[in-house]
A and B are shown apart, each in its own frame.
Chain A
Amino acid sequence: MAQLTSVSRTSPAFYVSTTAAAGGIAGLLVGTAQGNSLIGLILGAAIMAVTAYAVTHFVPQERIARWAILGAMALAGILLGGVAGLVVGTAFGWFFGWFIYWLYESRYRKKIPPYLTPGQVLWHHGFRVICGLIFFFLIAPIVVVMPLSFNAEDFFTFTPEMLRFDPAGYSLKHYKDFFTSSDWQHSLWNSLSIAPAATLLSVSFGTLAAIGLSSEHVPFRRSIMAILISPMIVPLIISAAGMFFFYSRIGLQGTYFGVVLAHAALGIPFVIITVTATLVGFDRSLTRASANMGAGPIRTFFKVQMPLILPGVISGGLFAFITSFDEVVVVLFVGSAGQKTLPWQMFTGLREQISPTILAVATILVSISILLLTTIELLRRRSERLRGMSPG
């Protein structure tokens, strides 16, 4: 982007103190890891303030200064924390080299309109930092799980070997455990046979209910809707306990079909909501036109209505599938040990023995989800391109 605002260098008071604040935060992180947060905070702030002042006054060339900061921080990282420290130190060094000159040369103002007040400039960058933090807090717990699943030990711990990037600290044994243990394979198979059946039931019933409820002549539409949506609103544990007693009496408790039915009941609200939303944009005169041309209601449904509301049906189906695939409370009540699903196995594994096999399973599931979503997105783009809806 072109430069919008002409800039001049800022005053030392500004860039030194801002760098010191950033250094303080970085120092706090390092200090907490080393066991003393306060000393880390103070040292980080002091070192970065001195560095910022020194490089801008005594080093003539920016490139040299930035390499020097990078090298010094990387070296400090090695001394403090070995290989892991080197990585962190290099990252910090790169960041601070960039950050000092970004402030010093006023680069932060370059790409925004000149009429903004300092407060608006601050908000412009603060907003990006907040967004970044939100992403960080959403993603960090998932990312942290992945390296831990390659742990060579049976604990949820980053061992010293792992932090040194010593190959001996890593192993695939938890993956091996997942693929060879009959418990895990059994529960994977259970999940994979329950979820599609439950999805099929919820999609069929949910779509029909949504279509029915969106036509005006149905009496008590709102109350019927409320009842159908209730599994989403009633606390899961209450539904589960109720289902347990009801299904026990009619002989469904502890059967495959019982769990499928229970999960279908949980999935139906998602399908109803998404399909109802797509039906809002559906033009009713199309069905009348279709009837006018001699198509029966069933033919009209499959040839005219279904293709148009398909996106809603598919996303409802995805939600129903995930609900069943992730569900642990209801299956604990309605299922018996023979229907142990993947989340159930993870739940007991986590409670009775904290085994990283759970992390291996989690990593596999996350990778599959990412692959699936990427594939769907690529397919969607491809079909849009083929239909000429977007230039890319």
Chain B
Amino acid sequence: MKFAKLMVATAAFGMAAGAAHAADMATDMTLVSWGGAYQSSQQRAYVEPYIANNSGVKVVWDESSAEAVAKLRAMNEAGNVTWDLVDVVASDAIRLCDEGLAMEIDPDSDLAAAPDGKPASEDFGDLLVSDCFIPQIVYSTTFGYRTDMVGDTPPTDVCAVFDLKKYPGKRALEKRPINNMEWALLCDGVAKDKVYDVLATPAGQEQALKKLDTIKDQVIWWSAGADTPQLLADGEIVMGSTYNGRLFSVIEEQKQPVAMLWDAQVFDLDGWIIPAGLPADRLARVKDFVKFATDTQRLADQAKYISYGPARASSAPLVGKHADLGIEMAPHMPTDPNNAKNTFLYNYEFWADYRDDIDAKFQAWLAK
């Protein structure tokens, strides 16, 4: 009898505690992302299952990741941070962390462990490039080309971009020095492991710009990820760089005559940061969501909707088929061994040190 009473009391206490815990969490979340297919993959892989488990939670999306750094600065100055979780590329996460605009996290307590019990810090490994950064995906910036505009010998290496004789026509490159300078040096005969040593010198920067000069009048400069797919679909360009997921969508979903040129693709990371200074109830909700959204299964699920590689080692074996198309996703991942024969990893340290300087030179060169 006494025991039963104790049980009831414990259960009631437990329920009360649970209810109190839930009441401590805000019910609204504003997530910031990139829009398009990428955001809808996050919606389907993370948010929908989360809401199914936590009814009453409302999620609002803001497609502002492209200007996340500037907007977070402004919000911080105005003392009114309206975002709860922000999707940014790793280099922006590093900047936001340095400026104190993003919250530092402890991977092992804030993120879920792998199914085999391996702590999150080991499961993510090297991809935890900043104390504030919670990686989601590995994506790559690479080239796609029109299969009907390259004749009988489709390009197999990145230097085709600089070969106007063999592949005449316009090409699309991103309107910034990052990646373009590396590709230019690589195709100007610089060994891959020397690229950043050369690029650190003014002479090396000159050399890269000189190489870019050879194709400058045939280049269309893009600034939004959607530009190159549109130009390729239009047949305006013969080849162009963009994010590999965008090219996947052009090729497999839109069935355009386009193919991937994986050579010298540049890996980069994309992930979440939690803005610094959130009120306790919103912070509790966001931490709960992030722990769920970056666990092994959720990251693997995202690959059902878009061809970006999950950031956890333990997610890779779980990558299955595309949710709508039913094709195996593994061969479309930038990290697939067949695609990753020759790759770069975005050099965060180098570009943190040299970005302003090389940016200025690049912009001056563009205006010439």
Contact = CB atoms under 8 A, between A and B. Distances in A.
A245 B75 CA distance: 8
Interface in B25-82: 30, 32, 34-37, 39, 60-63, 66, 74-75, 77-80, 82
Interface string A233-258: 00000000100110011010110000
A348 interface: yes
B169 interface: no
A157 interface: yes
A336 B61 CA distance: 10
A243 to B, nearest CB: 11
A354 B226 contact: yes
Interface bracket on B: 20 to 34
A102 interface: no
Interface stretch (A19-27, A148-156, A364-372): A148-156
Contact of A353 (B61, B62, B66, B226): B226
A341 to B, nearest CB: 13
Nearest to A352: B35
B78 A253 contact: yes
Given A245-B77, A351-B66, A155 B229 contact: yes
Nearest to A344: B63
Interface string A116-157: 000000000000000000000000000000000000011111
Contacts of B39: 352
A352 B35 CA distance: 6
B269 to A, nearest CB: 19
B82 A352 contact: no
B233 interface: yes
Contacts of A154: 253-254
B35 A353 contact: yes
Nearest to A348: B63
Nearest to B78: A248
B225 interface: yes
B338 interface: no
Contacts of B63: 348, 352
A352 B62 CA distance: 12
Contact of A336 (B36, B62, B224): B62
A354 B233 CA distance: 11
Nearest to B59: A337
Contact of B233 (A155, A337, A340, A351): A155
A337 B34 CA distance: 13
Given A336-B62, A337-B61, A157 B35 contact: no
A248 B80 contact: yes
A336 B226 contact: no
B64 to A, nearest CB: 8
A338 interface: yes
Contacts of B225: 352
Contacts of B35: 348-349, 351-353
B230 interface: yes
B353 interface: no
B82 A253 contact: yes
Contacts of A337: 30, 32, 60-62, 82
Given A336-B30, A352-B34, A352-B225, A249 B62 contact: no
Nearest to B224: A351
A203 to B, nearest CB: 30
B99 interface: no
A344 B227 CA distance: 19
| Max chain A C-beta neighbours (<10 A), residue from B63, B224, B227 | B63
Nearest to A157: B234
Contacts of A157: 230, 233-234
Given A336-B62, A352-B226, A155 B78 contact: no
A353 B229 CA distance: 9
A113 to B, nearest CB: 51
Contacts of B234: 155-157
A338 to B, nearest CB: 5
Nearest to B234: A157
A146 B312 CA distance: 45
B89 to A, nearest CB: 14
Contact of B230 (A155, A340, A348, A349): A155
Contacts of B224: 351-352
Contacts of B230: 155-157, 354
Given A351-B66, A353-B37, A254 B82 contact: yes
Contacts of B77: 245
Nearest to B61: A337
A159 to B, nearest CB: 9
A249 B229 contact: no
A249 B78 contact: yes
Nearest to A351: B224
Given A155-B229, A157-B233, A353 B36 contact: yes
Contacts of A348: 35, 63
Nearest to B65: A352
A253 B80 contact: yes
A336 B60 CA distance: 10
Given A351-B66, A352-B36, A353-B37, A338 B78 contact: no
Contacts of A249: 78-80
A255 B253 CA distance: 38
A251 B225 CA distance: 35
Nearest to A347: B63
A244 B74 contact: yes
Contacts of A253: 78, 80, 82
B174 to A, nearest CB: 15
A57 B225 CA distance: 60
Nearest to B81: A248
Given A157-B230, A354-B229, 17 more contacts: A154-B254, A155-B229, A155-B233, A155-B254, A245-B78, A248-B79, A248-B80, A249-B78, A253-B80, A336-B60, A337-B61, A348-B63, A352-B35, A352-B63, A352-B225, A352-B226, A353-B36
9 contacts: A153-B254, A183-B61, A241-B74, A248-B80, A249-B78, A249-B80, A336-B30, A348-B63, A351-B66
10 A-B pairs closest in CB distance: A352-B35, A248-B78, A337-B62, A353-B36, A248-B80, A348-B63, A155-B233, A337-B60, A354-B226, A352-B36
Interface of A: 153-157, 183, 241, 244-245, 248-249, 251, 253-254, 336-338, 340, 348-349, 351-354
